[in-house]
Chains A and B, each alone.
Chain A
Amino acid sequence: MTRRLPKKDVVVVGLGWTGSILAHELCLAGLDVVALERGPWRDTATDFNIGTAPDELRYAVRQDIFLRPAQETLTVRNKPDQLALPIRKWGSFLPGNGVGGAGVHWNGQTWRFLPEDFILNSHLTQRYGEGLLPENHMIQDWGVTYQELEPYYDRFEKIAGISGKAGNLNGQKQDGGNFFEGPRSAEYPTPAMTQGYAQQLFTDAAKRMNLHPFPRPSANLSAAYTNPYGMRMAPCTYCGFCEWFGCANYSKSSPQTCVLPALMRQPNFSLRTLAQVTKINLTPDRKHATGVTYVDAQGRGDRAAGRPRAGLRLRAVQRAAAAALRHRPALRPCHGRGRGGQELRLSEQRQRHGLFRRRRADQPLRRRRLARRRAGRLQRRQFRPCAARLRGRRLDHLRPYQWPPDQLPAGAAGHAALGLGLEEGESRRPTTTSPPSAPGQRDELSRQLSGPRSHLQGSPRPAADADDLRLQAERG
């Protein structure tokens, strides 16, 4: 039985980063907002208690706080001739569930896109000529430029308190920051995090080669901070339980730490949890949304209706991208119809594990890192009898399909030609290469650092092999 709920100005579907900031800004603008969230309520003190939050089995392995695929999942295939099958357990990407969404368990790397990313089609055409991109490619300009978005990047960084070092302030290069970034109007709200010992070694080596290493911008805060909404955050304690975990310490930027306490106090805001939206209702001409239909925990159908107002006919219905693919009528027609998800790329990240044999003093720290980052992977010398059996094994992570070079789809070829994409899930893949010996280590590092560093490599690089040592400008 469908109930009709009182009309509101705005229905926000999904109360993660985007939903919570949007809801808060709309409330501040005086609109009545209701948020519908498919998962449960979550807050730091209750759900990420410091006594129980650092639990690798519960959160990283059993995936307690991610969207449970039993509730909702996706079907996936890597090529059109494959059978699309449901993702039964998350692997390459981890959708959030509950208030805070994936902003609860994200890692906190907070890059801006480069100015060229917004005008990629014209940038590439202008720089390399018409012939570079294959026919029917999906690369296009975004219709919004970096310069237009810069104030909003800045605003978000201030809301989240991002820690980092600017490399380009209003066009002026800054020592110690990322020279390659677009011009920033302001320094990061908090200084970059203290770099660990391994990072220090790397930084020193890179500097000796006249390179410009810089700390990654992070949503893990280096210092106490109060954001524009009045939310107070504490300095990070470097515990390492970041991605896959909720932060118990109020140190990782999330809707919980940065927005929700302010939002929940807004008199014109209300929230319904365990409310799974199944449909966006449209006007007869299908040009505007009038509200949504959702199912609550008792299986009742409810309709949260919007109140049509002059100039605002629920254009602000906001939803996660994956769900949006199933509700195309609500979206503006876009280039390349029916290819939703084809260009899905996950965060690309390059990792290289090395063993510094001559640095013995740091062994316990190194061991701890190994234990944490290679959860479940055991060292040969510790388990001699069954070493072969144990090394490099991994749980049932969904691995990315690796395209044979001659079968690259149009869009992927473009990405591969740029040295972008196709490495989805790489950061979670086990690295089973044996560590280079100490003298070789240095040579190898020099070779890598003096090799071609441009991310415009020119040749397709389809396989995301752990052996690919090239150090690239990392993209979070």
Chain B
Amino acid sequence: VRNILLCSTFSLAVLVSAVAVKADGPSLVPEPLAQTTTRTDARSVKTDMLVPFSQSKPDMRLIGEDDTRHLTFFLSPEQALSGGRLRLAYTNAVSILPDGAMMSATVNGHAIGDIPIRSPQTVLATELPLAPGTLVAGWNTVRLRAQQQHRVDCSIGAAYELWTQVDPVTSGFLAETASDASDLASLITVGRTAQDETEIRVITAPGELARDAGRSLEAVQTLALLLGRQDLRIAFAETEGNGPGIDLFVGDALTPALSPAARQVLSNSPNGLSARQMGDGRVRVVLRGANDQALSSALVSALNGPLQPVLASRRALTKQPVIDASSSRRVNLAEAGYETAPFAGRLFRASFDLVMPEDFYPGDYGSIDLKLNGATAPGLAPGAQVLVRVNERAVTSHVLYDPEGVTLKEKALALSLRAFHPGVNKVEILAELPTEADQACDPTARSNAPRFLLLEETGLVIPELARVGRMPDLASLVARAYPFNHDKALDLVVDAATPGRLSTAVTILSRLALASGHPLPGHLVIGSPDPSLATNALVITAGRRDLAMTNVPPAKGSRPAAGRIDGLTTASVVSASGTSPAASASDSQALMDAFQVQTAMDTDRMSWTSRLSSGIQHLADMVDRWLQYQDVTEAPRSIRPADALVTLGQDSRADGAIWTVITAQDEADLLRGAGVLLDPVHWGTLKGGKATVLRSDLSIVTETPAAFTFYPLTDLSLGNLRRLAAAWLSDHFVIYVGLVLLFIGSFGLWLGYIVPRKGVRTVE
């Protein structure tokens, strides 16, 4: 019946437009409910201007029993003077005990109030008044601390079920004065879409997509740097959009082929960079200039003029939970925004990002020492321990169990440098603090007595690092835009000028600009990269086989480009008819594997030599994985070519140029897969040599490269060479062991040779 009903509706909807509801038609939501806080409504009842936080969704999630986040927002001087309200819209895990669950907010160091955490099913908006005195013109920092407990489960693992997610779309500062509608700095207040993204929509002239996209690269990167948001998405369209976002016009009124609307916008705007609030979180940004030089200089003068405060005061922001490890020194947690506070829960958690230099070489040649300063309360149960996890993997631990309490003073825990990789590393200090009472978990016997205290004097001692850049490495690409972060030219190669491909390409470019901290000198190329030029390239291909790598003649002395880039993806680029040799080859491999598993001999029927060799092989694999801090789950996975949605890989060429390549079968796949890759949750965690988004479950599979290519050494000091040698040997431990044995053996031989000949003299 429903289908019939639906069918008739559609025919009605399609044919008799009179039946359907008008845009401003009646609302199904009752009036009193409409004024509450579902995300769309929260925006519609807005009377003041919402200045959103610049952080993206993953940075607004408070996890565990006690967690802290730092959020920032930008205010004009008038807004800072007039004050307003801090709106926090959030939802939380259903398991959070409503009694006593609190989120406390501090703005620029002033405590402004606590909010009870009780909204397990919907997004609930809560507002806290902010007096003008607590605010400053420029960037303001909000420190959110959530304290939450589990309703019924007192185990350590249950602490991971606790989370409170602040909604990036509807949260922020509600300013009582709207900033001047034409103030350039007000573009910082652009809202987010319902998909939690900040959209920059570049308005292109009909039929001139490639020209306008190429011209907008610098402006887009500048906007990305100003906004500093990880959830940016760049779109290309011919008309302005609706809802929150930025419409970017680049060019001049005299530019040929403009649509009449765009021509009017451009001709009504002043020369240079200007912005205008269009309401509903939408901002129109116009960069007007007659040619590329004029556009560039307009950007520079805007950055030195009205946008100066945005950049300058961002630099002044301190206490971000990020530690830079590029130089050898000691860093205390206080510098990463950690504040000492007694902890009363079961699982203590303090986390920060440790940013390794892009040419950092991981290995077992040294360690970062964590100097713990803290104490536990008496009465903890056996099993209490401190754990340090790096990139979600436990690296070291220390037992805390002592019935009378433990005091830690500069207690050193070594974190092997092999556990880190270039770029952003997430370090978590965890303390598991069970007590006897937790076993019973009696709701009447809940106690809020503190169990642990970690002092902010706890520090990290960062040693000298072995430094040599190597390829491929996605982690240093996403964290530092390495190797594009130099002033060397960068070709942005797209196989066809379509809005979807350009959107992916330019979105990635803007992320790289954010990572490197300055606009990259990108140049848009439609077609295939020019192999004769030694230019770095970011290549986006979506199934245009004629333009794919296959027809690029291999540069002399280099390996064939097609095979080098990624045999798997070129196989997937071939249309999915299932007859392509590459696809069938891979299928044959799978069949072969299955065959071998099925027909494997019982071990006791094998010859002792093969048993021994397979045993040694197994052992070596295990040691290797253990050495590399790899889980079994991270062992290389074979991906069916048809299952690869989008692949991101890197390829270095003989002439020293580096191509970072994104491949997909068609544009729809590209958009879907790039959406997953570019999601701030995933983008920052990319690592290894190649990342593939699977079609089946949209998960990302990372592949560790089989071999690295090294860049020429920049640091030729003896210390660095020594560390590199040590690191290399730690990677190739068989050679190390062989060398040791060789030395000992040759010493023995030498002794055997020399003693009979020279005799032994006894010293009397």
- Does A pair with B? no
